[in-house]
A = this chain, B = another copy of it.
């Protein structure tokens, strides 16, 4: 394990570096300008109070490091014709990446009002963190970014996601030392065990050590350098360290060390990739490379004010946001700001029109090679439709409802294997070691788990290259898939339903990215992020209470209707049809919840397609209303609630043959919502036609009951909708006991009908009691024998 620290200046040419320094100064000037100025952008007159924004918002601390790295990457991009995607972990450094995008011309191409001249610079400054302007973080609005850095922790996972199946891409991922304390980032170092050095691209992790978070030192800055290097070497990297800028060190010296180190890193990456390609050709396998990683240690707020009001600022947490707070009212602060801005010598950097001087352009790559313009950061431009094989070939034969037993996800798995075969470089399945547990193992007939750590002969379905990525970290699964779809590819995340809450907050950030992107004309639609949640609440009887939580769909539905979709297919064929649809969509988050256990099948594939197209519908074959107004509607959403609802319908048919029962099944949960609230929402007229305007509705829902009320509260008949669902009653028990504990079982649903249909309660009290006795019988059986009574476990639709 060799560490290269402070290498001697090597190939870098001194003149180039003076130019590079000018470019860096320009970027820093533009960043400081964004934080402070609303007028006089080129400082062609003395700085006056009215030139300064009344409210100062932005993050200076990380900015000079981000611009420094950008400038040095530009040098090697131009020289070696590299394709580099820049992932800005310290997303608070919005001023940095907006500045570089403007300097490269991309910003003005995307936003013509922010032209590359004095007027445009003034607008660039004004709009930053300004009402009606742009966010203070790297964001969808930022050219060149796939990464919103507001919530920290996901940079390196995004970087690996972007690199998969992009062999020509180098992803330079800057990680702040604050972000390095988060769990998701700490786990992300494992990514290099999954990255193939020939078929995938390269990730260069750059730990930007500037020592401080908002108000506090960072942990990595306060352990020994030896410990820090051991950690990263232990994660399989070869470490390079560039340190400088402290105690007033001339930046030129730091440029020299950085340039020499960057040259070594780029050469090392090229060597690794060449060697791997040769080895792959010769041996059919590769050694796991020891990829380079860089530690850049510079002062927080480097080149900013050293001291303000007698307190140290540069190199401390005080440089985190706005180092000079009183620049509008405090002449001393304003003078300090003016000196700071002038220290970058703007007159050398911008011409009379305010455009960057032509000599700076020499360092700026052109066209798509600019990191601010690389197509991968606007993945929609690279996106191609998946080739989707005909899913009906995998459909389960359902001659009549309930006649066939099948596993929904098992059936899906066989089709997904075909999807994998048809799309060998643009589709990935991620999951936390649960692909087989979720019964998708058929995909392993078409591909393997990709892993470049040691593989033993006893391992199954594991290879150095494959479409499935399994790691026991939902954060990594989510982060990799986000990075993959944001750069223009497709994928599916399969997960236990309860544990998908682990990524609630990552989902939030991705959904917000999609919401914002829809309103940015130059951002092209990307593939939807697809979740398949299996091993769901009703089939976690064996793992027990800790594995039971159907609330992710509630969480999802707090996001804007335009980006979220939720599907609860009741059987295998509807799951096939649903997933085929989801994989064709753009710019959504699709959540599909489906069971893995063998269960009764209801719809033939043609019926399934029609039902999924409508998203909701009356199941005539299970209903006894003969097309007329029913006495009661049994609604259901989700596979297990559908079974219980149909069993209840069968019981009602047997015991109360005169009762007109209508069964309505919901696949697309958003059909329940008002059309004014969600684009999938049924018009009131349609909803009323299904659920009536005044008859009791007993609704069996997959998740928490409140969600159905939330979705339907504006409906005419809302006050008659009675919902059963999961109410946090669970333990280690049997499947039927799970539904009983939550009063979602067939017997209780029948009792609910008796309670709610006028006139039944008194007349059929005995039947009601019989139903409750049946529950006792079932529980006794389960508690005695450890399994469900056969008639409920293997119940078949009698129709």
Contacts and interface: CB of A to CB of B under 8 A. Distances in A.
A55 B786 contact: yes
A129 B542 contact: yes
A476 B462 CA distance: 33
A786 B183 contact: no
A193 B216 contact: no
Interface string A660-676: 00000000000000000
A134 interface: yes
A509 interface: yes
A458 interface: yes
A733 interface: yes
A57 B547 CA distance: 14
A433 interface: yes
A187 B179 contact: no
A84 to B, nearest CB: 25
Given A131-B734, A217-B456, A783-B132, A150 B544 contact: yes
A232 B235 CA distance: 10
B555 A57 contact: no
Contacts of A472: 152, 178-179, 181-182, 213, 218
A221 to B, nearest CB: 8
A312 B137 CA distance: 53
A228 B234 contact: yes
Interface in A674-718: 704, 706, 709-710, 713, 718
Interface in A581-621: none
Interface stretch (A23-31, A265-273, A494-502): A494-502
Interface in A207-237: 213-219, 222-223, 226-236
Contact of A509 (B190, B236, B546): B546
A243 to B, nearest CB: 16
Contacts of A455: 217, 222
Contacts of A367: none
A404 interface: no
A471 B181 CA distance: 7
Nearest to A544: B135
A764 interface: no
A731 interface: yes
A222 B234 contact: no
B234 A229 contact: yes
A566 to B, nearest CB: 14
Q: Which one of A185, A505, A551 has the greatest number of beta carbons of chain B within 10 Å?
A: A505
A131 B178 CA distance: 47
A560 interface: yes
A436 interface: yes
Given A133-B732, A151-B498, A182-B187, A233 B223 contact: no
A515 B779 CA distance: 22
A57 B732 contact: yes
A782 interface: yes
Contacts of A135: 543-546, 731-732
A794 interface: no
Given A186-B186, A234-B228, A222 B454 contact: yes
Contact of A217 (B183, B188, B459, B787): B459
A70 interface: no
A480 to B, nearest CB: 13
B515 A728 contact: yes
A226 B718 CA distance: 64
Q: Which one of A153, A193, A434, A449 has the greatest number of beta carbons of chain B within 10 Å?
A: A153
B215 A546 contact: no
B148 A546 contact: yes
Contact of A187 (B181, B216, B235, B558): B181
A542 B57 contact: yes
Contacts of A130: 732, 783, 786
Nearest to A509: B546
Given A139-B544, A453-B217, A709 B704 contact: no
Interface in A752-786: 779, 782-783, 785-786
A216 B473 CA distance: 13
A737 interface: yes
A297 to B, nearest CB: 14
A418 interface: no
A681 to B, nearest CB: 14
Nearest to A222: B453
Contact of A178 (B152, B222, B433, B785): B433
A516 interface: yes
A504 interface: yes
Given A193-B219, A231-B234, A558-B554, A732 B542 contact: no
A533 B733 CA distance: 37
Interface string A629-649: 000000000000000000000
A534 interface: no
A234 B193 CA distance: 19
Contacts of A559: 728
Interface in A128-148: 129-137, 139, 148
Contacts of A543: 135-137, 150
Given A187-B183, A546-B148, A546-B509, A53 B709 contact: no
Given A223-B236, A709-B709, A151 B546 contact: yes
Contacts of A558: 549, 551, 554, 704, 706, 728
Interface in A224-264: 226-236
A720 interface: no
A473 B182 contact: yes
A223 B236 CA distance: 8
Contacts of A449: 216
Contacts of A734: 55, 131
A437 interface: yes
Interface string A165-187: 00000000000001101111111
A773 to B, nearest CB: 18
A1 interface: yes
Nearest to A216: B433
A38 interface: yes
A578 interface: no
Interface in A302-316: 312, 316
Contacts of A626: none
28 contacts: A55-B786, A129-B542, A131-B783, A131-B786, A132-B733, A135-B543, A151-B498, A151-B546, A152-B472, A183-B476, A186-B189, A190-B219, A215-B437, A216-B449, A217-B451, A217-B459, A222-B451, A227-B233, A230-B233, A231-B231, A316-B458, A498-B505, A499-B505, A508-B551, A515-B545, A551-B558, A554-B555, A710-B710
Given A54-B787, A183-B185, 11 more contacts: A1-B226, A131-B734, A132-B782, A187-B187, A214-B434, A217-B456, A223-B453, A227-B233, A312-B458, A710-B710, A713-B718
The 8 A-B pairs at the shortest CB distance, nearest first, are namely A150-B546, A231-B234, A183-B183, A230-B234, A222-B453, A186-B186, A501-B505, A183-B187
